[in-house]
């Protein structure tokens, strides 16, 4: 791995991007950022409020602004929002500024991991399972195209997933 190489984690809700990202950054002595947390910190409101007031388009604009700034920082691990890859501009930023790791999770695992999550605006619907399936079908091809490395996180500890990523980085 290049000394100043950034690591970007992409994937669906519930795949463990934030948990793995924090652990990975600590193991590699890098700074950790979560794009959703950054948006909330900068705006002073939660993601749900932004979606309610500004809609998906408004949220994506904020997301692009935050990611555009963060990717220029040296030696970071960035956990992106599940839908960040929908924007071609974000895809290009991730390609240009680091390596991209696709943390994949099966539909059943995503459902279990997000069942009690009230903070996820796209899942504040009665048909959560259908929404998860639709998002997976729409976004997985983007994750696959963008990823330098892909691994399944189902029933795997943060430690094991982190170790897999570190091993992959060491063989590049």
Domain 6-163 has CATH 3.40.50.300: yes
Q: Could you give the percent of the chain with pLDDT greater than 70?
A: 89
From 81, 86, 79, 70, select the one nearest 100 (Cα to Cα).
Answer: 79
The mean pLDDT of 87-108, rounded to a whole number, is: 95
Please give the pLDDT value at position 107.
85
The backbone torsions φ and ψ at residue 103, rounded to the nearest 5 degrees and listed phi first, read: -90, 105
- Considering only residues 20 and 1, tell me which one the structure prediction assigns the higher pLDDT: 20
Q: How confident is the model at residue 44 (pLDDT cuts 50, 70, 90)?
A: very high
Give the separation between CA 119 and CA 49, rounded to whole angstroms. 10
Residues 6+ apart with CB under 8 A from 141: none
Strand-pair partners of 98? 6
The answer to whether the beta carbons of residues 71 and 35 sit under 8 Å apart is no
Please give the pLDDT value at position 63.
94
- Considering only residues 76 and 125, tell me which one the structure prediction assigns the higher pLDDT: 76
């Amino acid at each position: 791995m290049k000394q100043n190489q950034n690591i970007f984690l992409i994937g669906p809700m519930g795949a463990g991007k934030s948990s793995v990202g924090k652990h990975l950054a600590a193991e590699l002595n890098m700074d950790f950022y979560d794009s959703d947390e950054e948006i909330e910190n900068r705006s002073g409101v939660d993601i749900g409020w932004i979606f309610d007031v500004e809609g998906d388009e408004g949220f994506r604009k904020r997301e692009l602004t935050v990611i555009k700034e963060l990717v220029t920082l040296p030696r970071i691990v960035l956990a992106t929002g599940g839908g960040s890859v929908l924007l071609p501009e974000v895809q290009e930023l991730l390609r240009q500024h680091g390596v991209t790791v696709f943390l994949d999770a099966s539909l059943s695992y995503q459902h279990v991991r997000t069942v009690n999550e009230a903070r996820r605006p796209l899942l504040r619907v009665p048909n959560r399972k259908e929404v998860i399936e639709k998002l997976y079908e729409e976004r997985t091809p983007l994750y696959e195209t963008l990823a330098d490395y892909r691994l399944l996180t189902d029933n795997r500890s943060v430690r094991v997933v982190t170790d897999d990523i570190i091993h992959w980085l060491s063989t590049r």
